[in-house]
Every structure is written in C-alpha cells, then in structure tokens.
Amino acid sequence: MRRKAEDLPRRACAELVLSLRPSRKLVRRSSSTHSDKINRLESTMSRYFGGTAIPVSDDVFEILLRQDGCKSLEQLCRETNIEIEQAEELMTELVELWEKRAIVLLPARQAGK
C-alpha cells in the first residue's frame, strides 16, 4: 500500500523551522469601522525592495507570533492547537509567503546553526 503523494510535502513541511526576515514585522490592526482585526506582514524597507504589506490569516498570524527560529512548524501548530494533518491551507499560505521572500523556511539542522 502506498500513501498519497500530497502527504509527503505536508509531512516534510511540518519539520521545517520558520522565521521572519529581519526586514519584516508582524502587525495586527483593528478596523475603525468593523470589529474585524487585520493581520499583515509589513516591510520595514522601501517599496523598491518589494511589497510593503502582505495580509495573513489568523492561523498564520498566531504561528508567526510564536516563532523563535528554533521551533518546527509542527511544534508551533501544537502550541496554537492547529491540527497539522488538517492544515493544508496553512501550509499553502506559508509557502506563498516564502515565495514572496517574507519568511524563511529552513530544515531544523540549518536553523539551529
């Protein structure tokens, strides 16, 4: 019996360590007209170096809030009560942030150095 192909990337991503780039800060703002909160990764650099604000979901915000550059994504999900097996949207959003160079994803061995 073989596992589905999509299970491997999720399991592999769960072992990665994530951190914010030094040029990014995590921001949660309250809307003055709505009771909603707006979560974003904002740049501390000029627009010349890329987008200045990237919206993020509540789950990703909570994960990034707890990141320390040493904990794996799986550990961070446990801390925030997110089921890693059910976190397909979370993984997709994190990969998109990585593609935009807003976060760093490293294997645990390299992150610890």
User: In what helix (H) or strand (E) does residue 12 lie, and over which residues does it extend?
Assistant: helix 7-14
Beta strands in 4-63 (DSSP E): 16-20, 24-30, 37-43, 53-55
Distance of CA 110 to the CA centre of its chain: 18
Q: Which residues pair with 42 in a beta bridge?
A: 25, 53
Residue 21 has a CB neighbour count (10 Å cut-off) of 15
Distance of CA 63 to the CA centre of its chain: 6
The domains of the chain are located at 7-104
Q: Is the pLDDT of residue 40 over 70?
A: yes
Supply the CATH classification number for the domain 7-104.
3.90.930
**What is the predicted pLDDT for the residue at 111?**
60
| pLDDT tens, position by position, 49-81 | 666 789 999 999 999 999 998 999 989 999 999
**What is the predicted pLDDT for the residue at 109?**
74
Q: Where residue 32 falls among pLDDT bands split at 50, 70, 90?
A: confident
Inter-CA distances, 48 with 6, 45, 104, Å: 36, 8, 20
Q: Which residues pair with 54 in a beta bridge?
A: 41
Residue that has been written with the tokens 């707006």 in this structure: 38
